[in-house]
Amino acid sequence: MIETFFPQDRVARTLTVSTMAFALSSGVFYAVSTLYFTLVIGLSVTTVGLGLGIAGGAGVLASYAGGWLADRVAAHHVQTVATGLYGLSLLAYTFVTDAVAFTLIACVAVITRSVGSSSKQAMLARWYQGPDRVAVRARMRVVTNVFIGLGTTAAAAALLIGTAPAYRTAIVVAGVLLLAATVPLAGLGRRVPELAAAMTAVRAERTASTGPSPLRDRTYLASVVCNAVVAMQFGLLTVGMPLWVATTDAPTAIVSVLLVLNTAVVAALQVRASRGTDDVRTAGLTVRRASWLLALACGLYALAGYATVIVACALFVVAAFTHTMGEILGEAGGWGMSFELADPRSAGAYQGLSQTGYAIAGMFSPVLATTAVELGTVGWAGLAALFVLAGTGAAAVARRAAPLVPVGQSY
Final residue belonging to a domain, choices 208, 226, 246: 208
Last residue of a domain, one of 185, 208, 231: 208
Residues 148 and 243 in one domain: no
CB atoms within 10 A of CB 382: 15
The fraction of the chain above a pLDDT of 90, given in percent, is 46
**Looking at residue 158, what is its pLDDT?**
87
Domain membership flag for residue 93: yes
Strand runs labelled E in 6-62: none
| Burial of residue 6 (number of CB atoms within 10 Å: 0-12, 13-18, 19+) | exposed
Contact 237, 327 (CB under 8 A): yes
Dist CA 41 CA 114 (whole Å) = 25
Looking at the predicted structure, is the pLDDT value of residue 211 above 80? no
Q: In this predicted model, what pLDDT tens digit does every residue of 136-148 receive, in sequence order?
A: 888 998 999 899 8
Highest mean pLDDT among 140-149, 283-292, 357-366: 283-292
Last residue of a domain, one of 208, 230, 262: 208
Instruction: Give the Cβ contact number of residue 212 at 10 Å.
Output: 14
* Domain CATH number, residue 224: 1.20.1250
Asked, for residue 252, whether it belongs to a domain, the answer is yes
- Residue 410's pLDDT band, with cuts at 50, 70 and 90, is very low
| Residue of 14 and 198 predicted with greater confidence | 14
Q: Quick one: 187 and 223 in the same domain? A: no
42: left (phi over 0), alpha (psi -120 to 50) or beta: left
Considering the domain boundaries, does residue 410 fall inside one?
Answer: no
pLDDT confidence bin for 243, thresholds 50/70/90: confident
Does residue 231 share a domain with residue 360?
yes
- Do 29 and 61 have their domain in common? yes
Residue 50 shares a structural domain with residue 85: yes
pLDDT category of residue 82 using cuts at 50, 70 and 90: very high
Question: Do residue 192 and residue 130 come from a single domain?
Answer: yes
Q: Which residues contact 224 (CB under 8 A, 6 or more apart)?
A: 338, 353, 354, 356, 357
Q: Does residue 362 sit within a domain? A: yes
Judge whether 409 lies within some domain. no
Comparing 15-29, 95-109, 201-215, 254-268, the range with the smallest average pLDDT is 201-215
pLDDT attached to residue 105: 95
The mean per-residue pLDDT over the stretch 201-208 comes to 52
CA dihedral 317, 363, 111, 134 (to 10 degrees): 50
The answer as to whether 65 is a domain residue is: yes
> Same domain for 226 and 259?
yes
Flag whether 146 is in a domain: yes
- Indicate whether 237 and 124 sit together in one domain: no
Q: How confident is the model over 356-384, as a mean pLDDT?
A: 90
- The number of folded domains in the chain is 2
177 and 273 share one domain? no
Tens digits of residue pLDDT in 15-64: 999 999 999 999 899 888 888 998 899 988 788 888 888 888 898 889 88
411: in domain:
no
Provide the residue range defining the domain that includes 89: 2-208
